[in-house]
Amino acid sequence: MIDKEKIRQLCAGRPVAIVGAGLVGAGWAVVYARAGLNVKMFDANAEITRNAMPLIADQLAGLQRHGLLDEAPAAVLARIAPVATLAEALDGVAYVQESVLERVDVKRQLMLDIDALAAPDLVVGSSTSGIPGSAFALGLAISPRVLIAHPVNPPYLVPVVELVASPETSTATVAFADALMQAVGQSVVHVRKEVEGFVLNRLQAVLLREAWALVQEGVATCEDVDKTVRDGLGWRWSFMGPFETIDLNAPGGVADYAQRLGALYQRIADARSHPEPWDAALISEVESQRREQLAHTDLAARRAWRDERLMEFAAARQRPAPAAP
Ligand SMILES: NC(=O)c1ccc[n+]([C@@H]2O[C@H](COP(=O)([O-])OP(=O)(O)OC[C@H]3O[C@@H](n4cnc5c(N)ncnc54)[C@H](O)[C@@H]3O)[C@@H](O)[C@H]2O)c1
Protein backbone atom coordinates (compact mmCIF):
# COMPACT_ATOMS: atom_id res chain seq x y z
CA MET A 1 0.00 0.00 0.00
CA ILE A 2 1.50 3.35 -1.06
CA ASP A 3 1.74 5.94 1.75
CA LYS A 4 2.27 9.37 0.17
CA GLU A 5 2.28 11.22 3.50
CA LYS A 6 5.12 9.03 4.78
CA ILE A 7 7.03 9.58 1.52
CA ARG A 8 6.65 13.35 1.97
CA GLN A 9 8.07 13.08 5.52
CA LEU A 10 10.99 10.94 4.37
CA CYS A 11 11.99 12.72 1.16
CA ALA A 12 10.73 16.26 1.89
CA GLY A 13 9.77 16.84 -1.73
CA ARG A 14 13.14 15.74 -3.10
CA PRO A 15 13.36 13.31 -6.03
CA VAL A 16 15.07 9.91 -6.05
CA ALA A 17 17.64 8.66 -8.57
CA ILE A 18 18.02 5.41 -10.46
CA VAL A 19 21.62 4.66 -11.47
CA GLY A 20 21.71 1.84 -14.01
CA ALA A 21 18.55 1.83 -16.14
CA GLY A 22 18.55 -1.79 -17.36
CA LEU A 23 15.88 -4.38 -16.56
CA VAL A 24 15.88 -3.76 -12.82
CA GLY A 25 16.60 -0.01 -12.77
CA ALA A 26 13.70 0.68 -15.17
CA GLY A 27 11.43 -1.44 -12.96
CA TRP A 28 12.47 0.54 -9.88
CA ALA A 29 11.68 3.79 -11.73
CA VAL A 30 8.07 2.57 -12.03
CA VAL A 31 7.95 1.73 -8.30
CA TYR A 32 9.02 5.24 -7.24
CA ALA A 33 7.13 7.24 -9.88
CA ARG A 34 3.94 5.26 -9.23
CA ALA A 35 4.29 6.26 -5.55
CA GLY A 36 4.33 9.97 -6.55
CA LEU A 37 8.09 10.59 -6.40
CA ASN A 38 10.00 12.41 -9.10
CA VAL A 39 12.68 10.09 -10.48
CA LYS A 40 15.95 10.94 -12.23
CA MET A 41 17.24 8.04 -14.29
CA PHE A 42 20.86 7.66 -15.37
CA ASP A 43 22.72 4.91 -17.21
CA ALA A 44 26.35 4.94 -18.34
CA ASN A 45 25.00 3.88 -21.74
CA ALA A 46 22.75 6.72 -22.97
CA GLU A 47 20.96 4.41 -25.41
CA ILE A 48 19.79 2.22 -22.49
CA THR A 49 18.29 5.28 -20.75
CA ARG A 50 16.54 6.28 -24.00
CA ASN A 51 15.20 2.76 -24.57
CA ALA A 52 13.95 2.54 -20.99
CA MET A 53 11.31 5.27 -21.51
CA PRO A 54 9.12 3.44 -24.10
CA LEU A 55 9.55 0.23 -22.11
CA ILE A 56 8.33 1.99 -18.95
CA ALA A 57 5.42 3.50 -20.92
CA ASP A 58 4.35 -0.05 -21.92
CA GLN A 59 4.67 -1.25 -18.33
CA LEU A 60 2.51 1.62 -17.07
CA ALA A 61 -0.11 0.93 -19.77
CA GLY A 62 -0.19 -2.70 -18.59
CA LEU A 63 -0.64 -1.63 -14.97
CA GLN A 64 -3.54 0.60 -15.98
CA ARG A 65 -5.19 -2.19 -18.02
CA HIS A 66 -5.16 -4.36 -14.91
CA GLY A 67 -6.53 -1.65 -12.59
CA LEU A 68 -3.18 -1.31 -10.80
CA LEU A 69 -2.62 2.44 -11.31
CA ASP A 70 -4.65 5.16 -9.63
CA GLU A 71 -3.76 7.83 -12.21
CA ALA A 72 -3.09 8.13 -15.94
CA PRO A 73 0.09 6.37 -17.16
CA ALA A 74 1.23 9.63 -18.79
CA ALA A 75 1.15 11.42 -15.42
CA VAL A 76 3.38 8.75 -13.87
CA LEU A 77 5.72 8.73 -16.87
CA ALA A 78 6.04 12.52 -16.66
CA ARG A 79 7.66 12.14 -13.24
CA ILE A 80 10.58 10.13 -14.72
CA ALA A 81 13.38 12.23 -16.22
CA PRO A 82 16.31 10.64 -18.04
CA VAL A 83 19.53 12.54 -17.22
CA ALA A 84 22.92 12.48 -18.93
CA THR A 85 25.39 12.44 -16.03
CA LEU A 86 25.77 10.94 -12.56
CA ALA A 87 26.19 14.46 -11.13
CA GLU A 88 22.79 15.51 -12.55
CA ALA A 89 21.22 12.31 -11.23
CA LEU A 90 22.50 12.90 -7.69
CA ASP A 91 21.80 16.62 -7.53
CA GLY A 92 19.18 17.26 -4.82
CA VAL A 93 17.95 13.67 -4.47
CA ALA A 94 17.05 11.98 -1.17
CA TYR A 95 17.77 8.40 -2.22
CA VAL A 96 19.66 6.53 -4.96
CA GLN A 97 18.74 3.06 -6.18
CA GLU A 98 21.97 1.60 -7.58
CA SER A 99 21.14 -0.96 -10.30
CA VAL A 100 24.36 -1.32 -12.30
CA LEU A 101 26.08 -4.53 -13.44
CA GLU A 102 26.53 -7.34 -10.92
CA ARG A 103 30.32 -6.87 -10.65
CA VAL A 104 32.24 -5.90 -7.53
CA ASP A 105 34.65 -3.62 -9.45
CA VAL A 106 31.78 -1.75 -11.18
CA LYS A 107 29.84 -1.31 -7.93
CA ARG A 108 32.96 -0.20 -6.02
CA GLN A 109 33.86 2.42 -8.64
CA LEU A 110 30.30 3.72 -8.56
CA MET A 111 30.43 4.03 -4.75
CA LEU A 112 33.65 6.08 -5.09
CA ASP A 113 31.96 8.30 -7.70
CA ILE A 114 28.82 8.73 -5.58
CA ASP A 115 30.95 9.44 -2.49
CA ALA A 116 32.65 12.29 -4.33
CA LEU A 117 29.32 13.88 -5.36
CA ALA A 118 26.80 13.00 -2.67
CA ALA A 119 25.01 15.39 -0.35
CA PRO A 120 25.76 14.60 3.31
CA ASP A 121 22.37 12.97 3.94
CA LEU A 122 21.99 10.97 0.70
CA VAL A 123 21.04 7.30 1.23
CA VAL A 124 22.06 4.65 -1.33
CA GLY A 125 20.32 1.29 -1.79
CA SER A 126 22.04 -1.32 -3.95
CA SER A 127 19.99 -3.77 -6.03
CA THR A 128 22.79 -6.37 -6.03
CA SER A 129 21.50 -9.95 -6.28
CA GLY A 130 23.99 -11.33 -3.82
CA ILE A 131 27.15 -9.29 -3.19
CA PRO A 132 27.34 -8.13 0.44
CA GLY A 133 28.00 -4.42 0.97
CA SER A 134 31.31 -5.31 2.69
CA ALA A 135 32.69 -6.21 -0.74
CA PHE A 136 32.19 -2.74 -2.26
CA ALA A 137 30.81 -0.16 0.15
CA LEU A 138 33.21 0.17 3.09
CA GLY A 139 35.68 2.88 4.14
CA LEU A 140 33.99 5.91 2.53
CA ALA A 141 32.27 8.96 3.97
CA ILE A 142 29.03 7.63 2.51
CA SER A 143 29.43 4.07 3.86
CA PRO A 144 27.08 4.58 6.87
CA ARG A 145 24.39 5.59 4.36
CA VAL A 146 24.74 2.59 2.00
CA LEU A 147 22.82 -0.66 2.31
CA ILE A 148 21.56 -3.45 0.07
CA ALA A 149 17.95 -3.12 -1.15
CA HIS A 150 17.65 -6.26 -3.27
CA PRO A 151 14.43 -6.57 -5.31
CA VAL A 152 12.89 -9.31 -7.44
CA ASN A 153 12.45 -8.66 -11.14
CA PRO A 154 10.30 -6.79 -12.02
CA PRO A 155 10.20 -4.82 -8.75
CA TYR A 156 6.98 -2.98 -9.61
CA LEU A 157 5.13 -6.32 -9.80
CA VAL A 158 6.88 -8.51 -7.22
CA PRO A 159 6.99 -6.57 -3.96
CA VAL A 160 9.64 -8.21 -1.78
CA VAL A 161 12.85 -6.29 -1.08
CA GLU A 162 15.71 -7.59 1.08
CA LEU A 163 17.47 -4.97 3.20
CA VAL A 164 21.00 -5.89 4.27
CA ALA A 165 23.31 -3.62 6.28
CA SER A 166 27.09 -3.77 6.00
CA PRO A 167 29.10 -3.49 9.24
CA GLU A 168 29.37 0.25 8.51
CA THR A 169 25.69 0.92 7.70
CA SER A 170 24.01 3.06 10.37
CA THR A 171 20.78 2.03 12.06
CA ALA A 172 19.26 5.33 10.85
CA THR A 173 19.93 4.26 7.24
CA VAL A 174 18.22 0.91 7.77
CA ALA A 175 15.25 2.68 9.41
CA PHE A 176 15.02 5.17 6.50
CA ALA A 177 15.15 2.41 3.87
CA ASP A 178 12.62 0.29 5.75
CA ALA A 179 10.20 3.23 5.94
CA LEU A 180 10.75 4.28 2.31
CA MET A 181 10.31 0.77 0.92
CA GLN A 182 7.11 0.24 2.85
CA ALA A 183 5.81 3.67 1.85
CA VAL A 184 6.32 2.93 -1.87
CA GLY A 185 4.47 -0.37 -1.47
CA GLN A 186 7.29 -2.94 -1.23
CA SER A 187 7.38 -5.83 1.26
CA VAL A 188 10.50 -5.61 3.43
CA VAL A 189 12.65 -8.52 4.61
CA HIS A 190 15.54 -7.74 6.97
CA VAL A 191 18.57 -9.95 6.37
CA ARG A 192 20.28 -9.82 9.75
CA LYS A 193 23.77 -11.00 8.76
CA GLU A 194 25.77 -10.40 5.61
CA VAL A 195 25.75 -13.61 3.58
CA GLU A 196 26.32 -14.11 -0.15
CA GLY A 197 23.00 -14.36 -2.02
CA PHE A 198 21.04 -13.03 1.00
CA VAL A 199 17.88 -15.08 1.74
CA LEU A 200 16.03 -15.09 -1.56
CA ASN A 201 18.82 -16.26 -3.82
CA ARG A 202 20.08 -18.77 -1.26
CA LEU A 203 16.63 -20.37 -1.29
CA GLN A 204 16.55 -20.20 -5.08
CA ALA A 205 20.07 -21.67 -5.23
CA VAL A 206 19.03 -24.78 -3.33
CA LEU A 207 16.00 -25.34 -5.56
CA LEU A 208 18.01 -24.77 -8.75
CA ARG A 209 20.84 -27.03 -7.59
CA GLU A 210 18.37 -29.90 -7.14
CA ALA A 211 16.55 -29.07 -10.40
CA TRP A 212 19.76 -29.25 -12.48
CA ALA A 213 20.83 -32.47 -10.69
CA LEU A 214 17.46 -34.16 -11.32
CA VAL A 215 17.77 -33.43 -15.05
CA GLN A 216 21.43 -34.54 -15.10
CA GLU A 217 20.55 -37.86 -13.45
CA GLY A 218 17.64 -38.45 -15.84
CA VAL A 219 15.12 -38.41 -12.98
CA ALA A 220 12.88 -35.91 -14.78
CA THR A 221 12.81 -33.66 -17.83
CA CYS A 222 13.12 -29.86 -17.50
CA GLU A 223 9.44 -29.55 -18.33
CA ASP A 224 8.43 -32.02 -15.61
CA VAL A 225 10.62 -30.19 -13.04
CA ASP A 226 8.96 -26.91 -14.10
CA LYS A 227 5.53 -28.54 -13.95
CA THR A 228 6.22 -29.77 -10.40
CA VAL A 229 6.77 -26.19 -9.26
CA ARG A 230 4.22 -24.53 -11.58
CA ASP A 231 1.35 -26.94 -10.85
CA GLY A 232 2.52 -28.05 -7.41
CA LEU A 233 4.79 -26.27 -4.95
CA GLY A 234 4.23 -22.84 -6.51
CA TRP A 235 0.48 -22.79 -5.85
CA ARG A 236 0.93 -22.54 -2.10
CA TRP A 237 4.14 -20.54 -2.33
CA SER A 238 2.25 -17.71 -4.05
CA PHE A 239 0.61 -16.90 -0.72
CA MET A 240 2.55 -18.73 2.01
CA GLY A 241 6.17 -19.64 2.63
CA PRO A 242 7.84 -23.02 3.19
CA PHE A 243 7.58 -22.93 6.98
CA GLU A 244 3.86 -22.18 6.99
CA THR A 245 3.40 -24.80 4.26
CA ILE A 246 4.88 -27.60 6.36
CA ASP A 247 3.18 -26.33 9.54
CA LEU A 248 -0.14 -27.09 7.79
CA ASN A 249 1.02 -30.40 6.27
CA ALA A 250 1.09 -32.55 9.40
CA PRO A 251 -1.78 -32.97 11.85
CA GLY A 252 0.30 -31.68 14.75
CA GLY A 253 2.02 -28.78 12.92
CA VAL A 254 5.65 -28.14 12.12
CA ALA A 255 7.18 -30.19 14.96
CA ASP A 256 5.04 -33.18 13.96
CA TYR A 257 6.13 -32.66 10.31
CA ALA A 258 9.79 -32.63 11.37
CA GLN A 259 9.22 -35.86 13.30
CA ARG A 260 7.56 -37.60 10.35
CA LEU A 261 9.72 -36.36 7.47
CA GLY A 262 12.90 -34.88 8.98
CA ALA A 263 14.93 -38.04 8.31
CA LEU A 264 13.86 -38.12 4.63
CA TYR A 265 14.96 -34.51 4.09
CA GLN A 266 18.22 -35.21 5.93
CA ARG A 267 19.01 -38.17 3.63
CA ILE A 268 18.28 -36.00 0.56
CA ALA A 269 20.55 -33.23 1.90
CA ASP A 270 23.34 -35.74 2.66
CA ALA A 271 23.14 -37.14 -0.88
CA ARG A 272 23.84 -33.64 -2.24
CA SER A 273 26.72 -32.73 0.05
CA HIS A 274 29.35 -32.61 -2.70
CA PRO A 275 29.63 -29.77 -5.22
CA GLU A 276 28.36 -30.57 -8.73
CA PRO A 277 29.05 -27.74 -11.18
CA TRP A 278 26.57 -27.06 -13.96
CA ASP A 279 28.96 -28.44 -16.60
CA ALA A 280 28.84 -27.60 -20.30
CA ALA A 281 27.11 -30.86 -21.31
CA LEU A 282 24.38 -30.38 -18.71
CA ILE A 283 23.84 -26.74 -19.68
CA SER A 284 23.59 -27.78 -23.31
CA GLU A 285 21.03 -30.51 -22.44
CA VAL A 286 18.88 -28.09 -20.42
CA GLU A 287 19.21 -25.44 -23.14
CA SER A 288 18.04 -27.87 -25.82
CA GLN A 289 15.08 -29.07 -23.71
CA ARG A 290 14.06 -25.47 -23.00
CA ARG A 291 14.37 -24.46 -26.67
CA GLU A 292 11.99 -27.30 -27.57
CA GLN A 293 9.48 -25.61 -25.22
CA LEU A 294 10.29 -22.03 -26.24
CA ALA A 295 12.28 -20.80 -29.25
CA HIS A 296 14.99 -18.22 -28.58
CA THR A 297 13.12 -15.73 -30.74
CA ASP A 298 10.07 -16.06 -28.45
CA LEU A 299 11.87 -15.22 -25.18
CA ALA A 300 10.90 -11.52 -25.20
CA ALA A 301 7.25 -12.31 -25.99
CA ARG A 302 7.17 -14.86 -23.20
CA ARG A 303 8.64 -12.29 -20.77
CA ALA A 304 5.81 -9.91 -21.72
CA TRP A 305 3.33 -12.77 -21.20
CA ARG A 306 4.89 -13.44 -17.77
CA ASP A 307 4.47 -9.79 -16.78
CA GLU A 308 0.81 -9.82 -17.92
CA ARG A 309 0.21 -12.90 -15.73
CA LEU A 310 1.95 -11.17 -12.82
CA MET A 311 -0.32 -8.16 -13.29
CA GLU A 312 -3.42 -10.38 -13.26
CA PHE A 313 -2.03 -11.99 -10.13
CA ALA A 314 -1.25 -8.62 -8.49
CA ALA A 315 -4.82 -7.47 -9.24
CA ALA A 316 -6.20 -10.65 -7.66
CA ARG A 317 -3.96 -10.16 -4.62
CA GLN A 318 -5.40 -6.66 -4.12
CA ARG A 319 -8.83 -8.16 -3.44
CA PRO A 320 -9.16 -8.77 0.31
CA ALA A 321 -8.40 -12.37 1.30
CA PRO A 322 -10.96 -14.20 3.44
CA ALA A 323 -10.30 -13.59 7.15
CA ALA A 324 -7.63 -15.91 8.53
CA PRO A 325 -8.46 -17.98 11.64
N1 LIG B 1 17.68 -9.24 -13.53
C2 LIG B 1 17.23 -9.68 -12.37
O3 LIG B 1 16.39 -10.61 -12.32
C4 LIG B 1 17.68 -9.03 -11.10
C5 LIG B 1 16.88 -9.16 -9.95
C6 LIG B 1 17.29 -8.52 -8.76
C7 LIG B 1 18.47 -7.79 -8.73
N8 LIG B 1 19.23 -7.69 -9.87
C9 LIG B 1 20.46 -6.89 -9.78
O10 LIG B 1 20.19 -5.59 -10.30
C11 LIG B 1 21.40 -5.04 -10.88
C12 LIG B 1 21.12 -4.68 -12.33
O13 LIG B 1 20.76 -5.87 -13.03
P14 LIG B 1 19.97 -5.84 -14.43
O15 LIG B 1 19.39 -7.20 -14.60
O16 LIG B 1 19.09 -4.64 -14.48
O17 LIG B 1 21.19 -5.66 -15.44
P18 LIG B 1 21.23 -4.88 -16.83
O19 LIG B 1 22.42 -5.40 -17.53
O20 LIG B 1 19.88 -4.98 -17.51
O21 LIG B 1 21.44 -3.34 -16.40
C22 LIG B 1 22.61 -2.86 -15.83
C23 LIG B 1 22.84 -1.46 -16.37
O24 LIG B 1 23.88 -0.81 -15.64
C25 LIG B 1 24.51 0.09 -16.54
N26 LIG B 1 25.76 0.52 -15.95
C27 LIG B 1 26.91 -0.18 -15.81
N28 LIG B 1 27.84 0.57 -15.15
C29 LIG B 1 27.24 1.75 -14.85
C30 LIG B 1 27.66 2.92 -14.15
N31 LIG B 1 28.86 3.01 -13.62
N32 LIG B 1 26.78 3.94 -14.04
C33 LIG B 1 25.56 3.85 -14.56
N34 LIG B 1 25.11 2.77 -15.23
C35 LIG B 1 25.93 1.74 -15.36
C36 LIG B 1 24.62 -0.71 -17.83
O37 LIG B 1 24.80 0.15 -18.95
C38 LIG B 1 23.28 -1.44 -17.84
O39 LIG B 1 22.31 -0.74 -18.60
C40 LIG B 1 22.47 -6.13 -10.71
O41 LIG B 1 23.21 -5.89 -9.54
C42 LIG B 1 21.63 -7.40 -10.59
O43 LIG B 1 22.30 -8.45 -9.94
C44 LIG B 1 18.87 -8.26 -11.05
State pLDDT tens for residues 212-228: 999 999 999 999 999 99
Q: Are residues 60 and 80 both part of a single domain?
A: yes
Q: Are residues 60 and 8 both part of a single domain?
A: yes
List of residues 6+ apart from 22 with CB closer than 8 A:
43, 48, 52, 99
Q: Quote the ligand 1 centre to 58 CA distance (angstroms).
A: 20
Q: Are residues 13 and 59 both part of a single domain?
A: yes
Q: Are residues 31 and 170 both part of a single domain?
A: yes
pLDDT for 276 beyond 80: no
The reported pLDDT for the residue numbered 319 is 80
The reported pLDDT for the residue numbered 91 is 97
Confidence of residue 318 (pLDDT cuts 50, 70, 90): confident
State pLDDT tens for residues 164-209: 999 999 999 999 999 999 999 999 999 999 999 999 999 999 999 9
Ligand 1 neighbour 43 (Cβ under 6 A): yes
- Mutational test site, ligand 1, from 59, 99, 136, max ligand atoms within 8 Å of CB: 99
Q: Are residues 63 and 165 both part of a single domain?
A: yes
Distance CA 29, CA 299 (A): 23
Q: Is residue 324 part of a domain?
A: no
Ligand 1 neighbour 97 (Cβ under 6 A): no
CATH of the domain at 10: 3.40.50.720
Q: Is residue 308 part of a domain?
A: no
Q: What is the DSSP letter of 322?
A: P
Beta-carbon count within 10 A of 320 CB: 6
Q: Is residue 43 part of a domain?
A: yes
Ligand 1 neighbour 26 (Cβ under 6 A): no
Q: Which domain holds residue 56?
A: 4-191
Looking at every residue in the chain, the average pLDDT score rounds to 95
Ligand 1 neighbour 129 (Cβ under 6 A): yes
Concatenate the DSSP letters of all residues of 147-186 into one string.
EEEEE-SSTTTS-EEEEEE-TT--HHHHHHHHHHHHHTT-
* Distances 136 to 8, 23, 111, 117, 174 between C-alpha atoms, Å: 30, 22, 7, 17, 18
Beta-carbon count within 10 A of 205 CB: 13
Atom 20 in ligand 1: which residue has the minimum CA distance? 22
Q: What is the DSSP letter of 132?
A: -
- Mutational test site, ligand 1, from 18, 19, 23, 157, max ligand atoms within 8 Å of CB: 23
pLDDT for 323 beyond 90: no
Q: CA neighbours within 13 Å on the CB side: how many for 308?
A: 7
User: Exposed (0-12), middle (13-18) or buried (19+): which is 220, by Cβ within 10 Å?
Assistant: middle
pLDDT for 274 beyond 80: no
Compute the average pLDDT of residues 270-292: 90
CATH of the domain at 233: 1.10.1040.10
Compute the average pLDDT of residues 69-97: 97
Give how many domains the chain has, as a whole number. 2
State pLDDT tens for residues 230-249: 999 999 999 999 999 999 99
Q: Are residues 222 and 147 both part of a single domain?
A: no
**Cα–Cα–Cα angle for 304, 28, 206, rounded to 5 degrees:** 70
The reported pLDDT for the residue numbered 273 is 80
Q: Are residues 96 and 126 both part of a single domain?
A: yes
Atom 4 in ligand 1: which residue has the minimum CA distance? 153
Among 172, 163, 154, CA closest to 68: 154
